[in-house]
């Protein structure tokens, strides 16, 4: 690739903030997402779960122990119970007091950003929620006029074909990203319009990106925090990098 085409390619790569600017802030907190917007992220990645009282909250793990001072399973707790926990102190006293984030509040934050900022929403463990999670997510996106993907601004990701198929049936215009972790699994439209391989897989099998692109799928790679991996992604023509360090990755891309 020539220097000028490499530059064009690097500048065109979208940067998605994984759980916000989670390298610096506790993941999935409003502070992490505000930092990501400030850092120039094109979109915000978040994991969503359904609480016992059917609120969509941004939490990665099934249980709250790792990221809060509480105990329990997210789906077995009400939003008020989750609100009582501290989701910041585990990353240091300066982050103490951070509260669980409602997906709706993140959505409003993205819509109110001073420039267009997208959302990459990952559904967690859909089989346990029997379709309720996807239904609530699509309902909310529809309420905000985003269920058609808003011109590529919003997309839904999952490791689960079942979840993406449900989302696709409810909102056929919404882009869907099939996440792939260790081994290549077939990715077929319509349940997936994009593919999301992990960086470990891309390192092991760089030809994977070209094969996915040849099928007409856009490629989102996660979680890319190291300079050499950013360079690899650019070389391979990856269109989106999902990272915990949106500011650093943006700078690397601009400096290429
Ligand atoms: O962006 C996809 C990535 O977030 C999937 O892995 O475990 O961080 O949700 P995980
Ligand atoms: Ca995720």
Kindly list the domain boundaries of the chain, sorted by start residue.
Answer: 3-55+101-255
**Cα(239) to centroid(ligand 1), Å:** 17
Ligand 1 atom with the shortest distance to the CA of 220:
1
pLDDT of residue 4: 56
Query: Do residues 233 and 16 make contact, with C-beta atoms less than 8 angstroms apart?
Result: no
Averages of pLDDT over runs of 10 residues in the chain (256 residues) are 64 97 98 98 98 97 98 97 98 98 98 97 80 96 96 95 94 96 75 94 96 94 98 96 98 95
Ligand nearest to the CA of 62: 1
Query: What 3-state class would DSSP assign to 50?
Result: strand
Task: Indicate which residue's Cα is closest to atom 10 of ligand 1.
Answer: 60
Q: Are strands 56-58 and 43-50 parallel, antiparallel or unpaired?
A: antiparallel
Regarding the domain delimited by 3-55+101-255, which CATH topology (the fold level of the hierarchy) does it fall under? TIM Barrel (3.20.20)
Cα 5 to averaged position of ligand 2 atoms, centre (Å):
31
State if residue 42 touches ligand 1 by the CB under 6 angstroms criterion.
Answer: no
C-alpha 5/C-alpha 7 separation (Å) is 5
Name the residues annotated as catalytic: 18, 60
Q: Which atom of ligand 1 is nearest to the CA of 242?
A: 1
Classify each residue of 219-235 as buried b or exposed e, where b means 16 or more C-beta atoms within 10 Å of its C-beta: bbbbbbbeeebbebbbe
**Are the beta carbons of 18 and 244 closer than 8 angstroms?**
yes
> Looking at residue 127, what is its pLDDT?
64
Report whether residue 222 contacts ligand 1, using a CB cutoff of 6 Å: yes
Ligand nearest to the CA of 177: 1
pLDDT of residue 249: 98
60 in contact with ligand 1, CB cutoff 6 A: yes
pLDDT score of 5: 61
200: which 2 tokens?
């470990």
Q: Of ligand 1's atoms, which has the minimum distance to the CA of residue 60?
A: 9
Ligand 1 close to Cβ of residue 122 (< 6 A)? yes
User: Separation of 224 CA from ligand 2 center, angstroms?
Assistant: 13
């Amino acid at each position: 690739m020539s220097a000028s085409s490499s530059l064009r390619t690097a500048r065109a790569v979208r940067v998605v903030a994984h759980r916000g600017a989670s390298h610096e802030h506790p993941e999935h907190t409003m502070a992490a997402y505000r930092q990501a917007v400030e850092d120039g992220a094109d979109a915000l990645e978040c994991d969503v779960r359904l609480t016992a009282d059917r609120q969509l909250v941004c939490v990665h793990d099934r249980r709250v122990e790792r990221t809060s001072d509480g105990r329990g399973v997210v789906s077995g707790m009400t939003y008020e119970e989750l609100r009582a926990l501290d989701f910041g102190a585990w990353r240091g006293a300066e982050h103490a007091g951070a509260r669980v984030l409602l997906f709706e509040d993140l959505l409003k934050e993205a819509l109110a950003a001073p420039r267009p900022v997208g959302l990459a929403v990952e559904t967690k463990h859909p089989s346990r929620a029997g379709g309720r999670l996807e239904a609530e997510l699509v309902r909310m996106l529809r309420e905000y006029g985003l269920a058609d993907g808003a011109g590529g601004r919003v997309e839904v990701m999952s490791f689960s074909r079942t979840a993406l198929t449900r989302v696709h049936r409810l909102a056929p215009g919404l882009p869907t990203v099939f996440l792939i972790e260790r081994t290549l699994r077939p990715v077929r439209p319509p349940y997936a319009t994009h593919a999301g391989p992990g960086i470990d897989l891309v390192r092991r099998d760089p030809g994977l990106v070209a094969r996915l692109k040849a099928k007409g799928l856009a490629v989102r790679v996660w979680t890319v925090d190291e300079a050499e991996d950013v360079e690899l992604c650019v070389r391979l023509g990856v269109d989106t990098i999902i990272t915990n360090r949106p500011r650093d990755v943006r700078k690397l891309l601009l400096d290429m």
